[in-house]
């Protein structure tokens, strides 16, 4: 029994001394935005955003550990619509039939969000040169949108009358409900979502227990961040702009991010430095 207690005490002491605890602060950016499916009436492209991260790492031995982070991201996505939609048949004052149409002429909607996420994962490190480490991590994250907006950056929505027999289109006649508008803006309603993330990089010791780190990161939403809808982009009856993400054109909306982070890693408890890392009072458990 005495030997067992000695072994347990030795193991606990080893963990206390061999573990490495770090605080991480990073800033960077890359492709931050939404990825969603569109039909042939639209096309979407994620934009560029910034990423700020603070985190904590706890290494159980020389190579493996776990960590939690708090990440702030700005995101942008551009969606362009270019199609014609027939909203009904009508008859003019002279009894001639025509098609009432809504035309989306290179309508570019810019969507932007600010998100907070909480990634939790497993981390790996390995010495690859003097004072230089290879680092990697992967895990899952929970994310929420704290602010968002959309606005029309270019193009217009135009209602026209098309006379098929004469192949003539009439526009810019408000008295006949033929008009164009493009001053739409507003907000969407996002929901909390889950995702997966990964990162790989290097860290170089630049001082006692201080590392300069550079990593490439990526994350992808495992669950959708918005519901799907069955509405037109523009409701002609109410003259209301519903929005691209609230329309039948888009579906399967996921948050994505890919980019680069540059930052500092601070070792805690005096055991984070490269040369002194992993010393144990129990030689059998020494790194």
Q: Which pLDDT score is estimated for 269?
A: 65
Retrieve residue 105's tokens.
């002429």
Is a pLDDT exceeding 80 seen at residue 270? no
- Which has the closest alpha carbon to 220: 36, 95, 90, 6? 36
pTM score: 0.81
- Output the DSSP codes for 187-246: ------EEEEEEEEEEEEEEETTEEEEEEEEEEEESS-SS------SEETTTTEE--STT
225, 34 in Cβ contact below 8 A? yes
| pLDDT tens digits along 134-186 | 999 999 999 999 999 999 999 999 989 888 888 888 888 887 788 888 889 99
Buried b / exposed e over 130-167, threshold 16 CB at 10 Å, is eeebebebebebebebeebebebeebbbbbbbbeeeee
Q: Does domain 24-79+112-148+190-285 have CATH number 2.40.160?
A: yes
């Amino acid at each position: 029994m005495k030997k067992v207690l000695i072994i347990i005490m030795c193991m606990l002491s080893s963990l206390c001394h061999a573990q490495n605890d770090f605080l991480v602060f990073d800033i960077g950016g890359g492709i931050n935005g939404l990825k969603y499916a569109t039909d042939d009436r639209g096309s979407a492209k994620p934009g560029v955003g910034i990423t700020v991260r603070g985190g904590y790492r706890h290494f159980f031995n020389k190579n493996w550990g776990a960590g939690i982070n708090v990440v702030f991201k700005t995101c942008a996505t551009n969606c362009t619509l270019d199609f014609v939609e027939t909203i009904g048949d009508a008859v003019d004052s002279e009894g001639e039939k025509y098609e009432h149409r809504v035309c989306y002429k290179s309508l570019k909607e810019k969507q932007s969000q600010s998100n907070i996420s909480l990634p939790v994962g497993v981390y790996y490190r390995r010495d690859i040169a003097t004072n230089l480490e290879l680092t990697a991590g992967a895990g899952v994250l929970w994310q929420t949108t704290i602010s968002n907006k959309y606005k029309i950056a270019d193009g217009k929505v135009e209602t026209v009358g098309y006379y098929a027999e004469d192949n003539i289109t009439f526009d810019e006649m408000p008295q006949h409900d033929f008009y164009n508008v493009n001053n739409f803006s507003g907000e969407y309603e996002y929901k909390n979502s889950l995702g997966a993330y990964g990162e790989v990089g290097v860290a170089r010791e630049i001082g006692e227990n201080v590392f300069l780190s550079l990593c490439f990161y990526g994350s992808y939403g495992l669950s959708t961040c918005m519901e799907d809808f069955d509405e037109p982009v523009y409701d002609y009856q109410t003259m209301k702009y519903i929005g691209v993400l609230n329309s039948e054109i888009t579906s399967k909306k996921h948050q994505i991010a890919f980019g680069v982070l540059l930052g500092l890693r601070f070792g805690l408890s005096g055991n984070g430095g490269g040369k002194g890392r992993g010393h144990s009072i129990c030689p059998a458990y020494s790194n």
